[in-house]
Structure 1
Amino acid sequence: MTMISGSRAGLALGMALVLAGCGLGRMSEQECMERAMYFESNRSSRDGMVAVGSVVMNRVQSGQYPRSVCGVVAQKNQFAPGIMRRKMNLRTAPQVREAARSVLRGERHPLVGNAMFFHTAGHRFPYDNMHYVLVAGGNAFYEKRRNLLVTQPIPPHPVEGITGR
């Protein structure tokens, strides 16, 4: 067995974790982010894509979800069915590649804040812990809060210029 120096071992471990989160190296963080944006924002607006990407990054940074973009996007029952294997046609969403790159470089939707959840806009749920922050790209984005702290229990109406509709 060969011994690896401490820094090389750390690098090797870090690379293994990144590759494990990205489908064993089959997809990059960029590709996984593109998939989340493509399948979850209904390819409707850059605003909606950045909002989805902001939620993905909030999850990555939270410590409650996998620590990689691919790990978050590939989590079972969290995003669109087949998100990691369905075919994408980027001609139908020409902004997705740029939007994904921008979010990975640090851009966040200013109204998403700490939200880690969203669902299709127009759906209603009986829960009393959903504090809505934005409707964009066909989705309603929300934070889970104790019901006493929910001040926006119904998704806000889309506003031109803020939601991209």
Structure 2
Amino acid sequence: MLNLSKAILRAAALAVTATSLGGCSFFGMNFGMAQLSEKECMMRAMYFESNRSSAEGMLAVGTVVMNRVGDSRYPQSVCGVVGQKNQFAQGVLSRKMTDSGAVLAAQMADQVLSGSRHAGVQGAQHFHTAGLRFPYNNMHYVLEAGGNEFYEKY
């Protein structure tokens, strides 16, 4: 009986530890994302994807996130979209934001979550690093901003 109690306490401690680590997984469940607010998820996408380059670049990234939230093919929350595997920068929900770009990201996240959009992004739901070109004929580029090129797929 005592060993069972110790095992239960250890499991509980492990679960608490797992939930306190941002972006970590415990038995395949992502606890870190559940702790972040929509603003924090938006800030992180803008901060890491725009390379903290400019308000315009952050606004463009935020617009893509919101375009995806509004499309039934994607999760219907900012954190769901940003947390999708292989869609945004590695560790976007768990890495530390270490410079003043986080202040600008917070300001821009507030604007996007209040309805601001980058008009040049239009309906684009995709972007990649500026300067790269792909030979696909199903891409229509609409904007270059913040070190990224934004495009729509046909």
Give the TM interval when normalised to the shorter protein: 0.7 to 0.9
Aligned with 1:62: secondary structure?
Answer: coil
1:94 to 99, 103, 108: 103
Q: Give the RMSD, CA atoms, in angstroms.
A: 1.6
Q: Residues 139 and 21 (structure 1 numbering): CA distance in 2 closer, same or farther, change over 3 Å?
A: farther
The answer to whether the 8 A contact 1:22-1:71 is kept is no
Structure 2, unaligned runs of 5 or more? 1-29
Contact 2:142 2:151 in 1 (8 A): yes
Segments of structure 1 that go 5 or more residues without pairing to the other structure are 1-19, 146-165
Per-residue deviation at 1:21?
A: 10
- Residue 51 (structure 2) aligns with: 42
Q: Which residue of structure 1 aligns with residue 13 of structure 2? A: none
**Partner residue, 1:82:** 91
Question: Offset of 1:92 from its aligned partner?
Answer: 3.6
SS in 1 for 2:91: coil
Q: Given the alignment, which residue of 45, 49, 65 partners 1:56?
A: 65
Aligned residues: 125
Q: TM-score, normalized by length of structure 1?
A: 0.72
Alignment deviations for residues 30-71 of structure 1 (CA, whole Å, 9 cap, x no partner): 000000000000100000000000000000001110000000
Secondary structure at 1:51's aligned position in 2?
Answer: helix
- AA partner of residue 109 (structure 1): H
For 1:107 and 1:91, locate their aligned partners in 2 and report how far apart those are by CA, in whole Å: 22
Normalised to the residue count of structure 2, the TM-score between the two structures is 0.77
Over the matched positions of the two proteins, sequence identity in percent amounts to 62
CA distance in 1: counterparts of 2:125 and 2:31, whole angstroms: 19
Are residue 131 (structure 1) and residue 140 (structure 2) matched? yes
1:16-31 alignment to 2 at 5 Å?
Answer: 23-24=33-34, 26-31=35-40
Any residues of structure 2 matched to 1:122-161 within 5 Å, and which?
A: 122-145=131-154
**4+ residue runs of structure 1 moved beyond 3 angstroms?**
none
Q: Report the residue type matching 1:110 in the other structure.
A: A
